[in-house]
A and B are shown apart, each in its own frame.
Chain A
Amino acid sequence: MSEPTISSKAATVRFDGVSKLFGKDVVAVDNIDLHVAAGKLVTLLGPSGCGKTTTLRMIAGLEMASSGRILIGDRDVTKLPATDRDVSMVFQSYALFPHMSVLENVMYGLTFSGFAKDEARTRALKGLDLVGLKGFDTRLPSELSGGQQQRVAVARALVLEPQVLLFDEPLSNLDAKLRRQVREDIRAIQQDLGLTVVYVTHDQEEALAVSDEIVVMRNAAIAQIGTPRQLYDTPNDRFVADFIGEANLLECQITDVSGDTATIEIAGHRHQLPSRGLTSGPATLAVRPSRILINEASGIPATVDKATYVGVRMEYTLTGGFGQVFAVQDDVDEPIAPGTEVKMTFAQKGPVLLPGE
């Protein structure tokens, strides 16, 4: 084997009722079940402190589950320490070893995997090549920019051909421009090599952009799992609707359900949409700002409170009997002045019904 290539041994990850307690009463992760398919990029998304990092570290073996079972591939790794798991991780701070050159950093894990020195070197160079850092091998980490350090960290993890590759908020130390670029690079490498990746972020836009599947977490538990599209279009509850993209959450009454279609009444206005298994009674309507139509012939009466021009579109705040909503309109040429009385309706597609509070 003269030209080793980096391939993938992508494996599934399974959590069966896993909990993690710190001390006696800090529940960081509460009884979660999770299945990550091989070769997919799955994102853990949620507000700060909801247990994403802890979940990730349990996959890595840096934290041990307090209860439950963790499987990687077919192997039960619940009690296995990090060293013995076939998982690598890219840290938020990159954690490059400052006393080793870039090449030594990338070779580090290979030397513990039983590779001969030459082989390890070839593989490491290959890895650096893959992340676009050819020729940087003799530099010290301190002689690289943040983005380059990030890529060294990725290369270092990649060359081990781990069953699962973990990222903990990998973009948070980069500036906004670089973020988009790096996240696309990560996604491209993941898809090219068919890696199983678990990716932690608190940025919903980032999650929507890179993921095959998103796990939304809240208070140490899973709120919803789905593809970006599913989460955006059909959130399960108010929390998810609000966290993924922006949503206006309006109280409404389901007056009638026939088949899969529900009729709701909101501030005297009627609207029909899929019932999603809800029955008559109070409910919540989630509407994305772009799915609110203003200045219609008929609809809910509302007053324009605020109008803001942000370049590509107009942003309005409307008030009325329903409370307050936030809407955006693509029409920037004829803005509606604040104080104008308007009629407002919802687009046919988009608004979804959620259980009431």
Chain B
Amino acid sequence: MTVANTKTTRPVLIFWIVAGWVGYCLLPWYMVDDGLWSFKWLVDGYPFDDDYAPAAFLIGQGVKLWLAPILIPLAMPLLVIGRPKSDPLYARILIISGALGFSWLIAQGFSIGIRGFNYDWLKLLFGEPRIRQFGMGYGAMISASAFLFLLTQGIAARGAINGDVFVVSAIGGVITIVTAFVFYPIANMLFSAFITEDGAYSISVFAAKFFDDRLWGLGCLAGARCGAAWNSLFLAIFVGVITTALGLCFALVVTRSGFRYKRTIRALTVLPVITPPFVIGLALILLFGLSGSVTVFFADLFGIQPTRWLYGMPGILIAQTLAFTPIAFLVLIGVVEGVSPSMEEAAQTLRANRWQTFRTVSLPLMRPGLANAFLLGFIESMADFGNPLVLGGNFDVLSTEIFFAIVGAQYDQGRAAVLAMVLLFFTLSAFYAQRAWLGKKSYTTVTGKGDAGVHPLMPVGLSLPVMIIALTWALFTAVVYAMIVYGSVVELWGVNNTLTFKHYVTAFSLRIEEEGIRWTGAAWDSFWTTLSIAAIAAPLTAAVGLVTAYLLTRQSFAGKNAFEFGTMLSFAIPGTVIGVSYILAFNVPPIEITGTGVILVVSFIFRNMPVGVRAGIASMSQLDKSLDESSLTLGANSWQTFRRVILPLLRPAILAALVYSFVRAMTAISAVIFLVSAKYDMATSYIIGRVENNDYGLAIAYSTTLIFVMLSAVGLLQLIVGRVQIGRRSQLSVKDAS
């Protein structure tokens, strides 16, 4: 212990000081065009070429002189080396230099863009010199991080969070990246809704776009078409109600009936995880489309003309119900199981019969779960992009309208931003309602103590209809999935029904030649891109998620509630909104990553972070806090505690977070479709492209492959986590083994 107390060298401080200098003097300051992993710049004119030069060399050559002031905050921290932490100067110098450096970097980044000054008042002040700069590269990023973490070390030295450098830095880091990649793009997008074509701000432009009839028209009440906002809202409400009802049926069948194949029903919950969202839409087309099996069958039977009834509200409704019922089921099964059997048993001993018990005790206790399931269904439906795109027909919803405003002939950023605002307003309201209302009422009666007793069976009058509904729907789901597999091996659906592996061959053929394997299939490019982007994003997502979860469960600090709200917010931001806001925010400096793989990775991290956070919170709150505390009193600092005690105990949660963020990155479409580029095409956007070309065979074959890839990923996870958890159960019995 005494050793620890008297140490004067501070490796973390030295590290960040050095990092700052390295970023400034050695690494290319601006974004290198050839990609993050290309090191061509090393032999291509570095360090003197303007494009590749480190900041120090740029200044040395007399260009980009606005980078020179950064030298001051870079040099200041050198003064504190060797000073004790308790010296007030130590904290003050670090805070000043960190804040100065970081804010100067941000200020210059936003002020000077590709075309010189971004703001008129700067032009007035300095004239219009021929200056410009590109997006931040390695050097700028590393220097910025160095300033950020010098700042957090200064704050810690001032005594925040008991002077804990790790915790303060983690909070600072998470706040910074969430601000940069969630709040900044969203705020930026909201502003762009007010911008006219020639770049001025105008309320009336906004108002014109906002009060557009295509958005709020109520024509459908009179037989015409409704606006996209109403369509989305009605659809989401329907989907929410229906998925909740179906989810409840499934949950009741699994927990409160004598049904024998419960495990099979439970397997339903894995479906939404492994299915790219639009695949269900495709399968529905195979069944009910113009040349769908069912359509053709009935047309032949009754001699009626096949119709396009599927395209529009009915199709989307069915597809989304199929896709999101398992989510409602997943939420409700926890709730239905969470109702303590002893409550129900108590009611029965108080002379309530089964039906009365269900109505007066079980159902009311499930109410928050029902609301939760409804809101989730609502949010998912609002945010869904794939199914409306495939099945929408003339039925406009917000998410697809946003897409067409950006990629369509009528390219209109402002309109996209307005639509995105409306969509965001709906989902955030639902998100807020969920938290405000459910946060206070927790009826879960799981006590943590072994709760003996069994759930009573449903009353017969209830169980019969519930069983019928659930089983019918389960059967329908099975048919739909079977259709997907079958559709992938049919030559041309509805026209030529011979079986063939043609589509798989087109997509995934390969030739073995002397130089190695030649990936000749059409899908390989996007497949490998998807795999590698998902594989890069997954560990980062898990890391950000778990650190955030650690801060939320284990630390208390000012503004923690806002912090939590901010980190969970991206859960309620539809992918389309993220997509639009990213291309608006990140195609200009200082962060200029549109068209790169980085933007895809970043979007996945922040789309999927809440999954990691939830997984982390769930398992961390099961670890007794005294484990951390004893580690602290034994002389470990909070970083050592996190690494040596918490992380090892969280292995199952880490694995789960890894696999789920990997899989979600592979199935995502709504944000991705805005962010892909020729160089970085993703599987899902490639498939959508095929669908738009009416190349259903290839699209379905590719989707089927994805489903099986993800099924194996999830299966592997189950296998490994299953093992780990067995080891862990016996370990966690420590506390009750006394």
Q: Which residues of A contact B (CB under 8 A)?
A: 60-62, 64, 79, 81-89, 91-99, 108-109, 112-114, 140-142, 144-146, 149, 153, 156-157, 160, 162, 166, 173-174
Contact = CB atoms under 8 A, between A and B. Distances in A.
B735 A93 contact: yes
Contact of A95 (B2, B3, B624, B738): B624
Contact of B1 (A64, A86, A89): A86
15 contacts: A60-B629, A62-B633, A64-B162, A81-B632, A84-B4, A84-B5, A87-B633, A88-B633, A89-B630, A108-B631, A108-B644, A112-B4, A114-B3, A142-B737, A162-B1
Contact of A89 (B4, B159, B633): B633
B394 interface: no
Contacts of A91: 626, 629-630
Contacts of B410: none
A113 B633 contact: no
A89 B737 contact: no
B737 A81 contact: no
Interface of B: 1-5, 159, 162-164, 624, 626-627, 629-638, 640, 644-645, 648-649, 728, 730-735, 737-738
A109 B637 CA distance: 11
Contacts of A84: 4-5
B645 A97 contact: yes
A142 B731 contact: yes
B359 to A, nearest CB: 40
Contacts of A95: 624, 626-627, 629-630
Nearest to A173: B738
Of B3, B640, B731, chain A has the most CB atoms within 10 Å of the CB of B731
Given A86-B1, A113-B4, 6 more contacts: A61-B162, A62-B632, A97-B649, A141-B734, A142-B731, A146-B737
A93 to B, nearest CB: 5
Contact of B637 (A83, A99, A114, A160): A83
Nearest to A153: B630
A94 B734 contact: yes
B641 to A, nearest CB: 9
Contacts of B648: 99
B5 A88 contact: no
Given A94-B734, A97-B645, A86 B2 contact: yes
Contacts of A99: 648-649, 731
A157 B1 CA distance: 12
Best-buried of A82, A114, A149 by chain B (most CB within 10 Å)? A82
B634 A156 contact: yes
A321 B330 CA distance: 69
B634 A112 contact: yes
Given A95-B624, A99-B648, A114-B3, A81 B734 contact: no
A96 B632 contact: no
A54 to B, nearest CB: 13
Contacts of B164: 81
A283 to B, nearest CB: 45
Nearest to A81: B162
A331 to B, nearest CB: 40
Shortest 5 CB-CB distances between A and B: which pairs? A146-B738, A114-B3, A109-B634, A98-B731, A95-B630
Nearest to B629: A62
A82 B629 CA distance: 8
A60 B630 CA distance: 10
B1 A149 contact: no
Nearest to A168: B626
Given A81-B164, A98-B732, A86 B5 contact: yes
B635 A113 contact: yes
A87 B626 CA distance: 15
A20 to B, nearest CB: 14
A247 B366 CA distance: 51
B402 to A, nearest CB: 44
Nearest to A145: B737
Contacts of B1: 86, 112-113, 160, 162
B49 to A, nearest CB: 48
Scoring B630, B644, B728 by chain A CB atoms within 10 A of each residue's CB, the highest score goes to: B630
Nearest to A161: B1
B731 A83 contact: no
Contacts of B638: 83
Contact of B738 (A89, A97, A149): A149
A298 B640 CA distance: 73
Given A94-B734, A96-B734, A142-B733, A112 B636 contact: yes
Nearest to A162: B1
Given A98-B734, A142-B730, A83 B645 contact: no
B4 to A, nearest CB: 6
Nearest to A146: B738
B734 A89 contact: no
Contacts of B732: 98, 142
A65 B713 CA distance: 50
Contacts of A98: 649, 728, 731-732, 734
A154 to B, nearest CB: 12
Given A91-B626, A98-B732, A141-B731, A82 B3 contact: no
B162 A174 contact: no
A175 to B, nearest CB: 8
Contacts of B730: 140, 142
B629 A89 contact: yes
A156 B634 CA distance: 8
A119 to B, nearest CB: 12
Nearest to A99: B648
A317 to B, nearest CB: 37
B649 A88 contact: no
A53 to B, nearest CB: 11
A302 to B, nearest CB: 45
Nearest to B638: A83
Given A86-B2, A99-B649, A113-B635, A93 B624 contact: yes
A144 B733 CA distance: 11
Contacts of A108: 631, 634, 636, 644
A237 to B, nearest CB: 34
B723 to A, nearest CB: 14
A82 B4 contact: no
A168 to B, nearest CB: 9
A156 B164 CA distance: 24
A95 B636 CA distance: 14
Residue in A82, A83, A113, A166 with the greatest tally of chain B CB atoms within 10 Å = A83
Nearest to B161: A81
Nearest to A79: B159
A26 to B, nearest CB: 14
A85 B2 CA distance: 9
Contacts of A162: 1
A109 B629 contact: no
Given A62-B629, A84-B5, A160-B1, A109 B735 contact: no
Contacts of A160: 1, 634-635
A209 B610 CA distance: 52
With a 10 A CB-CB cut-off, give which of B164, B629, B637 has the most chain A CB atoms: B629
A140 B735 CA distance: 13
Given A89-B630, A93-B626, A98-B732, A83 B737 contact: no
Nearest to A109: B634
A29 B372 CA distance: 41
Contact of B635 (A79, A94, A112, A146): A112
A64 B164 CA distance: 13
A140 B3 contact: no
A61 B738 contact: no
Contact of B737 (A88, A92, A149, A157): A149
Given A89-B630, A95-B626, A149 B734 contact: yes
A113 B624 CA distance: 24
B731 A61 contact: no
Nearest to A94: B734
Contacts of A85: 633
A260 to B, nearest CB: 47
B598 to A, nearest CB: 36
